[in-house]
Amino acid sequence: MAENFEGQVVLITGGARGQGRAHALAFAARGADIVLCDRCADSAAVRYPLATEADLAETVRMVESTGRTCISSVLDTADRAALDALVARAESELGRIDIAVANAGVSVAAPVQSMTDEMWSEVIGSNLTGVFNTVAAVAPGMIERGYGRIVTISSMLGRAGNTSMVGYSASKWGVIGLTKSAALDLANHGITVNAIAPGNISTPMVHNDGLYAMMRPDLEHPTRDDVAPVFASLHAQPVPWLEPEEITRVVLFLADQGSAHISGIVIPVDAGNAARVTG
């Protein structure tokens, strides 16, 4: 695998921290210029802090310290016009977008009987409409140039259900349907579209007091050590969470020029949980 992205331009949504930051740094280290966006604002429907403008600025600083160019924008991926404007700016300043990683997402936890309209709209807006907007915004330029690699981020909950995950799971199953259909729409244009379905990844999305309390309702202030066995039970291998870089290496693989004839697939990176589900 060449894994050389010299001269290529990569758009990464939700790039201020977590997995998005890991992807940005890996592409930059391999020669790509980076286009980042993140909403950098909390949501009333999300019970943990989302990224801040300082997080986004830090990712930009880290990318630029590799010598690469980095464009960034504070925007909500549910806002199609904002994404279109960022893509237009990137195409004008950097010439094109070769690779897009539709990574931005939120976790909204509530059982179906108490999920509010606001929670549902947030999770579908960020996790499904946001991915559609990303793919739709980059597709015309990629078609024009006859080349593109699009990677979407689903979840192991895009292959199964779980308690209190009705909206999240629906959004992530949706990402897989979107990915497969977009792969067919773009198959004649040198563009691949593939999904990754991560297990528990060690980012602020899982390491927060709200989720810890949900996982250990028997404890008043559960710690990382207290929740680790519960997280591990969601995997088959005995590990509670994986590092973001384990997702990055699959993103790099799918984004490689040599992966030209891999399209419409889902790659689980979930410590063996995939063995428990079909598809």
Handedness of CA 187, 152, 150, 76 (dihedral sign): positive
DSSP readout, 193-224? Answer: EEEEEE--BSSTTTSSHHHHHHH-TT-SS--H
Which lies closer to ligand NAD via its Cβ, residue 74 or residue 143?
Answer: 74
Q: How many CB atoms neighbour CB 73 within 10 A?
A: 17
Which lies closer to ligand NAD via its Cβ, residue 20 or residue 147?
Answer: 20
For 109: left if phi > 0, alpha if psi spans -120 to 50, otherwise beta; the answer is: beta
Is 48 assigned a catalytic role?
no
Q: How far apart are the first and last CA of the chain?
A: 26
Contact residues toward ligand NAD (CB under 6 A) are 13-14, 16-20, 38-39, 50-51, 76-78, 103-106, 126, 130, 153, 155, 198, 200-201, 203-206
Choosing from 48, 147, 168, 212, the catalytic residue is 168
* Min dist. Cβ of residue 121 to ligand NAD (A): 11
* Min dist. Cβ of residue 139 to ligand NAD (A): 19
Question: SS3 of 145, please?
Answer: helix
Which lies closer to ligand NAD via its Cβ, residue 74 or residue 262?
Answer: 74
Which lies closer to ligand NAD via its Cβ, residue 134 or residue 147?
Answer: 134
* Min dist. Cβ of residue 234 to ligand NAD (A): 9
* Min dist. Cβ of residue 233 to ligand NAD (A): 14
- Find the helix or strand (DSSP H, E) in which 71 lies: strand 70-74
Pick from 130, 109, 113: which is nearest to 214 by CA? 109
Angle between helices 130-145 and 166-185 (to 10 degrees): 10
By annotation, the residues acting in catalysis are 168
